[in-house]
Amino acid sequence: MYSLLIKNAKLIDGISDTPQAMDIAVQGNEIANIAPSIPTAAETVIDAAGKILAPGFIDLQNHSDSYWQIFDNPSLEGMVSQGYTTLIVGNCGASLAPLLNRDSLLAMQKWHTLEAVNVNWQTFGEFLNALGRQKLACNVGSMVGYSTLRRGLVGDQIRSLESEELESLKKILSDSLKAGAFGLSSGLSYSHEIIISELELFQLAKIIKDHNALFSVHLRSEGRDVVEAADEVLDIAANTGVNLKISHLKVRGEENWPRFPELLEKIETAYHRGINIHFDAYPYDTVWQVLYSYLPKWAIEGGRSAMLRHFADPVQKNKILTYLNNSGVKFPSVMVASTTNKLNFAGKTIGQIAKNLETSSEQAVIHIVQNGGSEVMVFEKNLNSDQVTQLVMHPLSFIGTDGAGFSLNEKSRLVHPRCFGSATKFLRQMISGGGLSLGQAIKKLTSGPAKKIGLEKRGEIKVGNFADLVIFDKSTVGDKATYENPYQFSSGIEYVFVNGQEVFGGQPTGKLPGYVLRKN
């Protein structure tokens, strides 16, 4: 007797392109049998006639840790409801471990006041153990964040590392990788990483390569200098042989869109030369980011306290305003999604806020950054939707949400709809004639990312693999979340199983069968 039997499904196993009519039996956490007809009894039987059965989706680009959802909302509803069963967190330079001192925690502080948090770990291994005690709906693994590491060593100081500091950083990175981190993530455009030299990166990349782990990079620029930014990391990969993933690849800003073909060509050429390069992308033309990142580099170097000092100096403030004026960003249409301090700005455009404050949009940007607290998030529609489609369909891409698993009850702030609808929006696009077969689309959500990061026994439906499964209706699957009302589950996702247990069946079940994943 099996624990679960799924009958009459159209199986897309994550590898092959064509669906097959199959029954699938699960025993405990494992796929036990796959055959055209399985007559054996089971505790739970699901008739999936006419439905697609696919491996659970794997998100290599997740932020459920820095948004604290793995602690506040272990059901990770926004993720399981779109079919995700495995999340890799610790991205864009910010991870929850290792914590070399209290400052390293500040690097990943988003929305959450840390006073309320019981942080009972320091090393990466201790963090994974704490996560294991926590219980989660999805399987969760983590990268080591470079900002977290660097901030732990030198705090807010923006300078190159002394040689002994670099040695200690290399040692801690190496220890974290041994403890089960899947690789190193870098957020090169963020304040604590802006000045990191290519040489420093090169030395770290060598360590990542030695551990056969992943180097995941949020590029230094996604705008005017995006091609040079990609060149920088492709060069490091060419010289070290490191397994490289560019996070949320895109070209921001209409004036920079013409650089897109050159960017893709660079990446494709590098791949054909043997560089292990892939990237992830989300199927949306609007970015969600911290408002301070629109300020000039010199103004954000040194963190928030240095930035506030610049605002207080009329000469510096004027320089910032001039920079914003000439940046080409259409600030009046940028929408505030959330602020740390409650300002009642969520859902309003900067144009509307400026009007209320009787000031310019650029002045309003400074006002909001100054008064909104440590984390003001905004939506800006600045991507070319044809380019976004090319990215998600590209042979070297995976679908990454770059989001976090929020609960429907959250609602106190707007989050990007990609937190609820990335996979389902992508599937809907492809099913509606987007250019990829369903099998090819599923691969980008399953076996593709699993292979990239070296996940064993996941990302493919075969006997002996973990029973991470999604059953969906091809005719109705799609996203519902919007910028104005992101807290909506997708349509067409009927069942989601993690390690053989149902975590979603139209509604989250509240079960928390996810495993903490360690790279071996």
Q: Which is nearer to Zn ion, 191 or 247 (CB)?
A: 247
Residue 110 as a binder of Zn ion (CB under 5 A): the answer is no
Give 216's strand partners. 185, 245
Nearest by Cα to 79 from 516, 481, 484: 481
Q: Give the containing element (helix H, strand E) for 260.
A: helix 260-272
Identify which range of 25-33, 123-131, 244-252, 425-433 contacts Zn ion by CB under 5 A: 244-252
CB of 277 to Zn ion, least distance (A): 17
Q: Which is nearer to Zn ion, 279 or 420 (CB)?
A: 279
CB of 190 to Zn ion, least distance (A): 8
Extract the tokens encoding 93. 């330079």
Residue 92 as a binder of Zn ion (CB under 5 A): the answer is yes
> What's the rounded Cα separation, in Å, for the pair 69 and 110?
11
Dihedral sign for Cα 21, 26, 30, 32, please.
negative
Contact residues for 433 (Cβ-Cβ < 8 A; gap 6+): none
Contact residues for 216 (Cβ-Cβ < 8 A; gap 6+): 60, 61, 91, 143, 183, 184, 185, 186, 244, 245, 246, 247
Q: Which is nearer to Zn ion, 247 or 424 (CB)?
A: 247
Residue 218 as a binder of Zn ion (CB under 5 A): the answer is yes
Task: Give the Cα-Cα-Cα angle 340, 423, 488 (nearest 5 degrees).
Answer: 55
Identify which range of 46-54, 212-220, 320-328, 511-519 contacts Zn ion by CB under 5 A: 212-220
> What's the rounded Cα separation, in Å, for the pair 173 and 159?
19
> What's the rounded Cα separation, in Å, for the pair 4 and 12?
18
Nearest by Cα to 384 from 286, 261, 278: 286
CB of 505 to Zn ion, least distance (A): 32
Identify which range of 86-94, 311-319, 407-415, 447-455 contacts Zn ion by CB under 5 A: 86-94
Q: Which is nearer to Zn ion, 2 or 67 (CB)?
A: 67
Tell me if residue 501 falls in helix, strand or coil. strand
Q: Which is nearer to Zn ion, 38 or 184 (CB)?
A: 184
Residue 209 as a binder of Zn ion (CB under 5 A): the answer is no
CB of 248 to Zn ion, least distance (A): 6
Residue 245 as a binder of Zn ion (CB under 5 A): the answer is no
Q: Which is nearer to Zn ion, 218 or 252 (CB)?
A: 218
Q: Which is nearer to Zn ion, 224 or 518 (CB)?
A: 224
The DSSP letter of residue 491 is B
Identify which range of 2-10, 243-251, 265-273, 338-346 contacts Zn ion by CB under 5 A: 243-251
CB of 189 to Zn ion, least distance (A): 8
CB of 92 to Zn ion, least distance (A): 3
Residue 220 as a binder of Zn ion (CB under 5 A): the answer is no
Count H helices and E strands in the chain, helices first. Answer: 18, 20
Stretch 161-190 residues interacting with Zn ion (CB under 5 A): none
> What's the rounded Cα separation, in Å, for the pair 290 and 307?
14
Q: How many residues bind Zn ion (CB under 5 A)?
A: 3
Residue type, 160: S
Q: Which is nearer to Zn ion, 222 or 479 (CB)?
A: 222
CB of 218 to Zn ion, least distance (A): 3
Identify which range of 239-247, 270-278, 383-391, 487-495 contacts Zn ion by CB under 5 A: 239-247
Q: Give the containing element (helix H, strand E) for 419.
A: helix 418-429
Residue 470 as a binder of Zn ion (CB under 5 A): the answer is no
CB of 197 to Zn ion, least distance (A): 20
Q: Which is nearer to Zn ion, 91 or 243 (CB)?
A: 91
CB of 186 to Zn ion, least distance (A): 9
Half-sphere exposure of 296 (CA within 13 A, CB side): 17
> What's the rounded Cα separation, in Å, for the pair 114 and 148?
15
Binding site for Zn ion (CB under 5 A): 92, 218, 247
